[in-house]
């Protein structure tokens, strides 16, 4: 049964004064009573989206409908939504009662009604008899509860929560998560919850909205986004994944690590480069030497391998870490591909193992870009070519017959971009913006200081946020004429 | 040798010059004022100086008049200063610092020079010197002392509190009266004290801007010491003590505020 839509975000963009897009054509609809989580790393635009819904920020384009009414231009105090702020934002000059009663007093309720409502709200958040307390005297968790009570006491149609648990310690956070879920059930209010914690998002929500770079990457139930990630970002951000470059041979048949596998995905076309996502817990692992026994006793080597015709591959365990319930092992194949495998049995470092994955556990993801970076370039007077806001030396024969000022298409292979530790050694400098381990190499997104993105494949290990110098050798810069 | 390094390096050693300074220029003068206030020319204990003050209608009236002038100055400064501080703290100015600088700029010049310049300005425009000029000059001199503490509290205020109030249904006016104003009270207190205290005891501004026509309490004290000769020192000391007590009372009024953390930056 489809419930009525309460919030509709239609093609909303938010551009800040510096020209950067915090939100880029975001569309989302939320049903009445739903618990929706907006999940993403910091700077992905999730808080901006929430602030646009609350009315603290205006949208640059697009509109936001609340119960079918366009509220894009409505000031925050007129919107039937309430917000729980990340740092609580309790009024320090008012006590607990006055904080919670703030909204009710503005709406002109009489004293008795206010009293009853505040008492009820305090009871909901488990702070009965805290009315007279000074807010500064409360612990972080208690302040959080007051902030929630202050919002829900107004019986908003939508409750917006901006990373409300981020400041609490782990144990407290888990308790509050359960309480929030309980409150959501009890109150029947629509919750829109912003977090960067993927576990929190999966635990709490009916639906998860995964955001990155101001765009929605995927919307789905927690199981959907975990089991069926639509792209590498989602696969990498939510849970652990093995991500490899592959090739779709035809429907239901994929190749990676130079092996062919059956899979269940269709519609990618034939002979199309794709990314392959395999969750570490979906890999079956067994010792190839049947005399080798893993740490546990109940282990039947023949029972480890599912019956059927599956493609198997082999490797040697590199490391093993106990993770409480399972062991997390890194296995390396003879071709140099590394896999993360999770299993209840431990295969110690050095064990030769076989692995397989069932077709339904192979997730095929469309490649958004592959092999080459493409840039718009312009031939310069000095024989250089200008692209990504820098002038580059190129082989003279590649721009033969081209006049200065002529626009060209520049192509640089991911592999051809050289990263230097020292920024000054590069023609350009930038920052490692996103890292994806592809089994036997890293796929990096480098953001230059001018804000251009370059994709780089490398075997070197870099960290998120590392400053790098970018070098591209003249022979690696391919120039294509623009088709007129 | 070891002992010597210990003496030169210990923090206590560094404090000695300051202690000496405080004793010589703060504690000792204060004690001298108290001594002179409670003695007569021969050095015998007496309350005559105070009795004389309270029996001199003119002197008591001067005190009341000075307090009134200080109060009016403080009120005008508050009315002018609060909006200025508010605009500076909230304006979408790219550089509120520029505006802050403009307010502080006059303070780079000695206030006596500024006051003399004010006199010249009044003369140039043919405006009469007197009470009006006095109030103008006082406000002109002390306005920055009102703006700064208020600006500091407003600027340090958490923006999310304003958003929270809006979120709970407060319009712009309600946000101001229910959140911004109550939270800026510590700054207002500081500003009031910063303006009120010096204006009570001022005399140079009054003399220059009124051609000595209006006598303020500060002038009264100054005359007791300056013109009255040594015979008047005891009376002057008593007047100083009365003024000190009044100033002390106003700063207690400020200390009464419970939350020191949110105080404006100047006191």
Residues A316-370 pLDDT 10s: 999 999 988 899 999 999 888 999 999 988 888 999 999 999 999 999 988 877 7
Which residues of A fall within a CB distance of 8 Å from B161?
A: 89, 91-92
Bridge partners (DSSP) listed for residue A36:
A192, A207
Closest CA to A205 of A217, A218, A215, A195: A195
Answer yes or no: do B174 and A106 touch at CB < 8 A: yes
B220 class by beta-carbon count within 10 Å (0-12 exposed, 13-18 middle, 19+ buried): buried
Which residues of B fall within a CB distance of 8 Å from A83?
A: 163-164, 167
Average pLDDT over residues A164-184: 89
Closest CA to A229 of A386, A50, A366: A366
Average pLDDT over residues A444-449: 89
Candidates B156, B159, B162, B169, partner chain A, best to mutate (most A CBs within 10 A): B169
User: What pLDDT was estimated at residue B262?
Assistant: 43
In a domain, A392, yes or no: yes
Same domain flag for A418 and A354? no
pLDDT (tens digit, 0 to 9) for every residue of chain B, 267 residues total?
455 555 556 777 788 889 999 999 999 999 999 998 898 878 888 888 889 888 988 889 999 999 999 999 999 999 999 998 888 887 665 566 777 777 778 778 888 888 888 889 888 998 888 888 999 989 988 898 899 899 989 988 888 999 999 999 999 999 999 999 999 999 999 999 889 988 888 888 888 888 878 888 888 888 888 776 677 888 889 999 998 888 888 777 655 544 444 444 443
Answer yes or no: do B167 and A87 touch at CB < 8 A: no
CB A51 within 8 Å of CB A79? no
In a domain, A53, yes or no: yes
Which residues of B fall within a CB distance of 8 Å from A93?
A: 182-183
Same domain flag for A206 and A315? no
**What proportion of chain A, given as a percentage, has pLDDT over 70?**
96
In a domain, A196, yes or no: yes
Distances (CA, A) of A404 to A382, A397, A400, A407, A464: 8, 14, 11, 9, 38
Which residues of B fall within a CB distance of 8 Å from A150?
A: 164, 168
Answer yes or no: do A102 and B168 touch at CB < 8 A: yes
Which residues of B fall within a CB distance of 8 Å from A85?
A: 160, 163-164
Residues 6+ apart with CB under 8 A from A284: A304, A305, A306, A355, A356, A357, A358
Q: Which of residues 146-175 of B touch A (CB under 8 A)?
A: 158, 160-161, 163-171, 174
Q: Which residue of B has its CA nearest to A51?
A: B163
The domain that holds A97 is classified in CATH as 3.40.50.300
Which residues of B fall within a CB distance of 8 Å from A103?
A: 168-169
Distances (CA, A) of A46 to A24, A167, A215: 11, 18, 9
SS3 B133: helix
Same domain flag for A125 and A219? yes
Same domain flag for A185 and A52? yes
Answer yes or no: do A77 and B168 touch at CB < 8 A: yes
The domain that holds A394 is classified in CATH as 2.40.50.140
The CATH code of the domain at B57-228+242-262 is 1.10.3720.10
In a domain, A235, yes or no: no
Q: Which residue of A has its CA nearest to B259?
A: A93
Answer yes or no: do A102 and B178 touch at CB < 8 A: yes
In a domain, A232, yes or no: no
Give B90→chain A minimum CA distance, Å.
Answer: 15
Same domain flag for A379 and A359? no
Q: Which of A56, A103, A107 sits opposite B163 (nearest CB)?
A: A56
SS3 A25: strand
Residues 6+ apart with CB under 8 A from B40: B46, B48, B49, B234
Which residues of A fall within a CB distance of 8 Å from B169?
A: 77-78, 103, 106-107, 154
The token duo for B109 is 């010049």
CB atoms within 10 A of CB A108: 8
CB-side neighbour CA atoms (13 Å) of B192: 19
Range of the structural domain that residue A395 is part of: 372-481
Distances (CA, A) of B81 to A10, B100, B151: 45, 12, 9
Q: Which residue of B has its CA nearest to A147?
A: B164
User: What pLDDT was estimated at residue B94?
Assistant: 53
Same domain flag for A166 and A306? no
Q: Which residue of A has its CA nearest to B181?
A: A93
User: What pLDDT was estimated at residue B264?
Assistant: 43
CB B198 within 8 Å of CB B244? no
Answer yes or no: do B167 and A82 touch at CB < 8 A: yes
Mark out chain A residues that contact chain B at CB-CB < 8 A: 54-56, 75-78, 81-83, 85, 87, 89-93, 102-103, 106-107, 150-151, 154
CB A125 within 8 Å of CB A146? yes
Give A76→chain B minimum CA distance, Å.
Answer: 6
The percent of chain B in helix, strand and coil, each rounded to the nearest 5, is 80, 0, 20
Q: Which residue of B has its CA nearest to A86?
A: B160
Q: Which of residues 105-144 of B touch A (CB under 8 A)?
A: none
Per-residue pLDDT band for A451 (boundaries 50, 70, 90) equals confident
CB pairs under 8 A between A and B: 63
Q: Which of A85, A91, A107 sits opposite B169 (nearest CB)?
A: A107
The token duo for B159 is 């923006």
CB A168 within 8 Å of CB A138? no
Residue B213 at interface with chain A, using a CB cutoff of 8 Å = no
Could you give the number of structural domains in chain A?
3
Which residues of B fall within a CB distance of 8 Å from A102?
A: 165, 168, 170, 178
Same domain flag for A345 and A244? yes
Per-residue pLDDT band for A2 (boundaries 50, 70, 90) equals low
Q: Which residue of A has its CA nearest to B162?
A: A89
Residue B92 at interface with chain A, using a CB cutoff of 8 Å = no
CB A147 within 8 Å of CB A90? yes
Answer yes or no: do B171 and A77 touch at CB < 8 A: yes
Q: For residue range A30-67, what is the model confidence (pLDDT) as tens digits?
A: 999 999 999 998 888 999 999 999 999 999 999 999 99
Same domain flag for A55 and A90? yes
Closest CA to A272 of A252, A254, A247, A251: A247
What ipTM did this prediction achieve?
0.75
Same domain flag for A200 and A108? yes
CB B58 within 8 Å of CB B219? no
CB A179 within 8 Å of CB A214? no
CB atoms within 10 A of CB A176: 20
Give A84→chain B minimum CA distance, Å.
Answer: 8
Same domain flag for A216 and A68? yes
In a domain, A223, yes or no: yes
Q: Which of B160, B170, B262 sits opposite A106 (nearest CB)?
A: B170
pTM to 2 decimals?
A: 0.77
Answer yes or no: do A76 and B161 touch at CB < 8 A: no
Candidates A99, A103, A158, partner chain B, best to mutate (most B CBs within 10 A): A103
Q: Domain coordinates of chain B in residue numbers?
A: 57-228+242-262
Q: What CA–CA distance (Å, rounded) separates B242 from B235?
A: 11
Average pLDDT over residues A265-273: 88
Q: Which residue of B has its CA nearest to A78?
A: B169
Which residues of A fall within a CB distance of 8 Å from B171?
A: 75, 77
Q: Which residue of A has its CA nearest to B169?
A: A77
Residue bearing the bigger pLDDT, A244 or A1: A244
In a domain, A233, yes or no: no
Task: Give me the phi and psi of A21, to 5 degrees please.
Answer: -90, 120
In a domain, A110, yes or no: yes
Distances (CA, A) of A277 to A173, A209, A228, A239, B198: 30, 20, 9, 11, 75
Residue bearing the bigger pLDDT, A307 or B77: B77
CB A237 within 8 Å of CB A198? yes
Mean of the per-residue pLDDT values of chain A: 89
Q: Is B202 left (phi over 0), alpha (psi -120 to 50) or beta?
A: beta
Same domain flag for A209 and A308? no
Answer yes or no: do B160 and A89 touch at CB < 8 A: yes
Q: What is the DSSP string of A398-457?
A: GGTTPPTT-EEEEEEEGGGEEEESSGGGSSEEEEEEEEEE-SSSEEEEEEETTS-EEEEE
Answer yes or no: do B168 and A91 touch at CB < 8 A: no
Lateral strand order in the sheet of A69-70: A21-31, A5-15, A61-66, A69-70
User: What pLDDT was estimated at residue A248?
Assistant: 92
Q: Pick from A310, A333, A366: which residue ends a domain?
A: A366
């Amino acid at each position: 049964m489809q419930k009525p839509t309460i919030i509709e975000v239609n093609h909303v963009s938010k551009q800040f004064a510096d020209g950067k897009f915090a939100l880029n054509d975001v569309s989302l609809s939320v049903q009445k009573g739903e618990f929706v989580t907006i999940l993403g790393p910091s700077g992905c635009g999730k808080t901006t989206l929430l602030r646009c819904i609350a009315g603290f920020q205006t949208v640059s384009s697009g509109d936001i409908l609340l119960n079918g009414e366009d509220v894009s231009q409505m000031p925050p105090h007129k919107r039937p939504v309430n917000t729980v702020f990340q740092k609580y934002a309790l009024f320090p000059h008012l006590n607990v009662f006055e904080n919670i009663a703030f909204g009710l007093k503005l709406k002109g309720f009489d004293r008795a009604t206010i009293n009853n409502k505040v008492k009820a709200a305090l009871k909901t958040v488990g702070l009965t008899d805290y009315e007279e307390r000074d807010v500064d005297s409360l612990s972080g968790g208690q302040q959080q509860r007051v902030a929630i009570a202050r919002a829900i006491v107004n019986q908003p149609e939508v409750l917006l929560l901006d990373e409300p648990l981020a400041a609490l310690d782990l144990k407290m956070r888990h308790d509050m998560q359960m309480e929030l879920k309980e409150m959501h059930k009890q109150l029947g209010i629509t919750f829109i919850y912003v977090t960067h914690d993927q576990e929190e998002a999966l635990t709490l929500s009916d639906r998860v909205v995964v955001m990155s770079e101001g765009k929605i990457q995927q919307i789905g139930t927690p199981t959907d986004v975990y089991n069926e990630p639509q792209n590498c970002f989602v696969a990498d951000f939510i849970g652990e994944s093995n991500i490899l470059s592959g090739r779709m041979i035809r429907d239901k048949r994929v190749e990676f690590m130079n092996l062919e596998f059956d899979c269940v995905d269709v519609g990618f076309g034939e002979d199309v480069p794709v990314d392959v996502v395999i969750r570490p817990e979906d890999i079956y692992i067994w010792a190839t030497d049947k005399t080798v026994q893993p740490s546990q006793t109940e282990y039947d080597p023949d029972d480890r391998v599912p019956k059927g015709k599956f493609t198997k591959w082999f490797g040697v365990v590199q490391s093993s870490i106990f993770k409480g319930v399972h062991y997390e092992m890194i296995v390396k194949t003879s071709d140099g591909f590394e896999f993360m495998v999770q299993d209840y049995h431990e295969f110690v470092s050095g064990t030769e193992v076989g692995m397989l994955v069932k077709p339904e556990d192979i997730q095929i993801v469309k490649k958004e870009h592959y092999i080459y970076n493409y840039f718009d370039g312009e031939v310069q007077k000095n024989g250089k070519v200008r692209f990504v806001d820098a002038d580059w030396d190129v082989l003279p024969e590649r721009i033969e017959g081209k006049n200065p000022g002529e626009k060209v298409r520049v192509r640089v292979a991911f592999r051809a971009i050289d990263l230097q530790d020292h920024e000054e050694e590069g023609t350009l400098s930038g920052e490692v913006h996103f890292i994806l381990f592809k089994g036997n190499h890293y796929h990096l997104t480098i953001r230059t200081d001018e804000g251009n993105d370059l994709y780089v494949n490398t075997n070197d290990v870099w960290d998120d946020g590392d400053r790098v110098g970018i070098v591209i050798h003249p022979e690696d810069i391919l120039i294509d004429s623009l088709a007129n | 040798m070891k002992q010597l390094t210990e003496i030169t390096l210990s923090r206590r050693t560094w404090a000695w010059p300051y202690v000496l300074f405080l004793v010589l220029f703060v504690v000792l003068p204060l004690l001298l004022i108290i001594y002179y206030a409670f003695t007569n020319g021969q050095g015998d204990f007496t309350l005559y100086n105070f009795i004389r003050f309270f029996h001199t209608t003119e002197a008591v009236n001067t005190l009341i008049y000075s307090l009134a002038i200080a109060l009016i100055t403080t009120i005008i400064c508050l009315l002018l200063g609060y909006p200025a501080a508010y605009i500076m703290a909230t304006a979408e100015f790219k550089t509120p610092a520029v505006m802050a600088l403009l307010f502080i700029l006059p303070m780079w010049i000695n206030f006596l020079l500024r006051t003399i310049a004010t006199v010249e300005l009044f003369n140039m425009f043919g405006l009469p010197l007197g009470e009006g000029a006095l109030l103008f000059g006082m406000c002109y001199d002390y306005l920055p002392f009102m703006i700064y503490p208020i600006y500091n509290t407003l600027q340090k205020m958490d923006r999310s509190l304003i958003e929270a109030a809006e979120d709970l249904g407060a319009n712009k006016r309600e946000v101001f009266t229910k959140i911004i104003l109550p939270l800026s009270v510590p700054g207002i207190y500081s500003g009031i004290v910063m303006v009120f205290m010096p204006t009570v005891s001022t005399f140079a501004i009054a003399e220059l801007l009124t051609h000595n026509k209006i006598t303020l309490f500060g002038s009264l004290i100054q005359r007791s010491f300056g013109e009255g000769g040594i015979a008047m020192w005891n009376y002057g000391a008593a007047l100083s003590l009365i003024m000190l007590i009044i100033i002390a009372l106003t700063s207690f009024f400020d200390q009464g505020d419970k939350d020191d953390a949110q105080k404006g930056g100047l006191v």
